[in-house]
Amino acid sequence: MGSVFRSAEMSLCQIFLQSEAAYTCVSELGELGLVQFKDLNPDVNAFQRKFVNEILRCDEMERKLRYIDKELKKDDMKIPDTGENPKAPAPKEMVDLEATFEKIESELREVNTNAEALRRNYLELSELKEVLKKTQNFFAEHGEGHHTIVDDAQNALVHDEMATTSATAVQLGFVAGVIPREKVPAFERLLWFACRGNVFLRIDEIAKPLEDPVTGDAIFKCVFIIFFQGEQLKLRVRKICEGFRATLYPCPESSQERSEMLNGVSTRLEDLNTVLHQTEDHRHRVLANCLKEIRNWIIKVKKIKAIYHTLNMCNFDVSHNSLIAECWTPVSALENVQQALSHGTELSGSTVPSILHRMHTKETPPTFFHTNKFTKVFQSIVHSYGIASYQEVNPALYTIITFPFLFAVMFGDLGHGFIMFLFGLWMVVMEKKLMSSKSDNEIWNMFFGGRYIIMLMGLFSVYTGFIYNDAFSKSLNMFGSSWHPNYSEPLLDSVETLVLDPEYEFDNVTGPYPFGLDPIWQASKNKITFTNSFKMKLSVILGIGQMLLGVMLSLVNHIYFRNPLNIFTEFIPEIVFLLCLFGYLVGLIFFKWATFTVHCSTCAPSLLIHFINMFLFSYTMPNDNFNYQCDHTNPKLTGCKATTVFYRYQNYAQIALVLGAVLCIPIMLCIKPFVLRARHNRKIRVSIES
């Protein structure tokens, strides 16, 4: 219980480790998880420490594991979370791990390089096949009778020279290739302007998208064939194709040669496709073997690196061939730490035992809290705001109740709260099964980690739902309303709004509704006004109560640490300031609830206006014949209203409270710094005199 109410008592220890047993001893301490090592070499550069080479080797192994993990993700192979937690391997096993990782990485890189080369070759052959097919189709479409595509090109290119030269005498050349689909419009325009219209271009899109050999993304390309006349145009066309990254392929002029070449390309593609499948199968087998062990490998490498990083924080005693370490550990865990050191020494085969020695120090120890699966989430909430100092009161103990309850005050719905409670209860009951499923969904893991707080928030929301009498925004009439209006049906038909008089329509015999709000408020027009006022006052009471709890806990800390200065300069002014202002406001809320009845409802004070006027020293006094007893007050005679003084000597009391709160401010801000400065100067004088 002490470690829940306060942080665990810590002890600074010195450990003497033999060099041959240091690795296994630190490994056992790491598995224990109750030791925080101090860096005894803060001024030594990271690259000048004793085990820097081992850490660099671990970095290299981590790089190779990241590469293997990237390859697994590329093939959509999910790493299974078996829940295993292997121990750190012996130092001599590092060589085996390095050799294994080196072999797998080199094999994967070789397979990837070969596969990329094969895919690149496959892409080129696929493009060549499409060029041959499309070119064959170009010539076949215009090959009926004596009219061919060459005739169309000749007619298009030499129509201006018909008068002097025969069109059949013109010798045309052509090139064929592929170009990305998005570059086709610009390619056409540049060919037209650069060649002055003296080329004949035909383009056809490749129906099936091709695969990029590097990224594997789909790429869309088009086959083109360009007819031209003369060597100058040929060079110009080739340069334009190079500028647009278009790929040119050899294309025979005769149909028979094109058919033979197409058959050869198809055969090569089939053979290449078989080799590609075999390469992918081999790569998949290598990755499948890695998939079984990669999680354990990652854990082992991280633990090895953490061990050597810890050993770098130790001092090396050359004379005794040993390492000297300093660490913080809970006093309650000293026996476990000694057992871990003994076990590590046995595993290493060393005959010299490791020595654990407690040290006395004035350093402030670190804060450590023992948590379990229930308190862990509440401790995390507190740590998100700040970590308590050593041996201070742990706020998480109170957060277990206050956090879900204050949520319920805001939420306050019986139906939704019950659903939330059932959801949290289901996660708590099924936690072993759900924990073994090892989901990677971040949102689900967040819900499952907070299963206990969700269950408590739902349970408290059910309670506040009963208080607010609210279930899915509907009221429940379980005990029967305490209001019994006696209006006739003709009156109800003729009047749209009626006001219930508590003196006549309220059942004073049975009293108010037994638990929560009366269900009659569901039908009232001023329901929101009333419930908002009620919830606001309730929130003020609970919020100020929580602040008061925090201030009282600070008193517990001051007494525990024997610090009277903080009691007189912090706690007392804080509690006086809080009670003079906000405690007074809470008192007014209860005073208003207990004092004002239906007989003097018009005199009921507006607390917000009164609280503002308290700081402005502005008071509205009633008539001289004002009686401060509600049952004997006549509002018409006394002239009281929501802003008038409602109890005797109210103005004097409030002025005294404001002055008391203001006087606390300089006490909190000024006295302690001067006292601390005087103590510091006294220490300096004593040190000089001595």
Among residues 584, 512, 522, 519, the alpha carbon closest in space to that of 548 is found at: 584
- CA dihedral in degrees (519, 525, 526, 528; nearest 10)? 70
pLDDT tens per residue across span 118-143: 999 999 999 999 999 888 888 877 65
pLDDT at 635: 62
Q: Binning pLDDT at 50, 70 and 90, where does residue 168 land?
A: very low
- Bridge pairing between strands 221-228 and 173-180: antiparallel
Mean pLDDT to the nearest integer, 367-378: 91
Residue 426 confidence (pLDDT) above 70 = yes
Q: What is the CA radius of gyration of the chain?
A: 43
Q: What is the pLDDT of residue 99?
A: 95
Helix (H, G, I), strand (E, B) or coil at 103: helix
Per residue in 52-83, pLDDT (tens digit) is 999 999 999 999 999 999 999 988 888 887 77
Give the residue-averaged pLDDT of 669-678.
93
Query: Looking at residue 415, what is its pLDDT?
Result: 94
Q: What is the pLDDT at residue 286?
A: 93
Structural tokens at position 368: 């450590």
| CB of 291 closer than 8 Å to CB of 154 | no
Provide mean pLDDT across the span 586-614.
87
Q: What six digits make up the tokens of 17?
A: 């480790």
pLDDT band of residue 29 (cuts 50, 70, 90) is very high
Instruction: Look up residue 667 and give its DSSP letter.
Output: I
pLDDT at 484: 83
Mean pLDDT score across all residues of the chain: 87
Whether residue 644 has pLDDT greater than 60 = yes
Three-state SS at 145: coil
196 pLDDT tier (thresholds 50, 70, 90):
confident
Mean pLDDT of 344-361: 89
**Predicted pLDDT of residue 660:** 95
Q: Nearest 5°: CA angle at 191, between 185 and 194?
A: 135
What would the pLDDT profile of 468-501 be if each residue is shown by its tens digit?
A: 999 998 888 888 888 888 777 888 778 878 888 7
Residue 211 confidence (pLDDT): 87
Assess whether pLDDT exceeds 70 at residue 684: yes
Q: How far is CA 62 from CA 49, 71, 177, in A?
A: 20, 14, 45
- What are 293-323's pLDDT values in tens digits? 999 999 999 999 999 999 999 998 877 788 9
Of residues 178 and 138, the one with the higher pLDDT is: 178
- Comparing 48-62, 242-256, 274-288, the range with the smallest average pLDDT is 242-256
Q: What is the mean pLDDT of residues 406-420?
A: 93
Quick count: other Cβ atoms within 10 Å of Cβ 568?
Answer: 15
State residue 285's pLDDT score: 93
pTM of the model: 0.76
pLDDT mean over 582-600 = 88
Quick check: 337 and 356 in contact, CB under 8 A? yes
pLDDT in tens, 516-554: 888 988 888 888 888 888 889 999 999 999 999 999 999
Sequential DSSP letters for 360-375:
---SPPPP-----TTT
10/507: higher pLDDT? 10
Q: How far apart are CA 451 and CA 448, in angstroms?
A: 5
pLDDT at 208 over 50: yes
Give the per-residue pLDDT at 169: 47
Long-range contacts of 376-380 (CB under 8 A, 24+ apart): 377/449, 377/450, 377/452, 377/453, 378/403, 378/453
Residue 511 backbone class (left: φ over 0; alpha: ψ -120 to 50; beta: rest): left
- Tell me the helix, strand and coil percentages in the chain, rounded to 5: 60, 10, 30
DSSP string, 159-204: GGGTTTS-GGG---EEEEEEEEGGGHHHHHHHHHHHTTT--EEEEE
Distances (CA, A) of 471 to 296, 414, 442, 514, 536: 50, 5, 31, 17, 20
| C-alpha to C-alpha distance for 241 and 420, rounded to whole angstroms | 66
Q: What integer pLDDT is reported at residue 146 of this predicted model?
A: 38
Average pLDDT over residues 651-665: 94
- What is the average pLDDT across 83-90? 88
Q: How many residues does the chain have?
A: 690
Percent of the chain surpassing pLDDT 90? 55
Looking at residue 180, its pLDDT comes to 93
pLDDT at residue number 140: 77
* DSSP label at residue 46: G
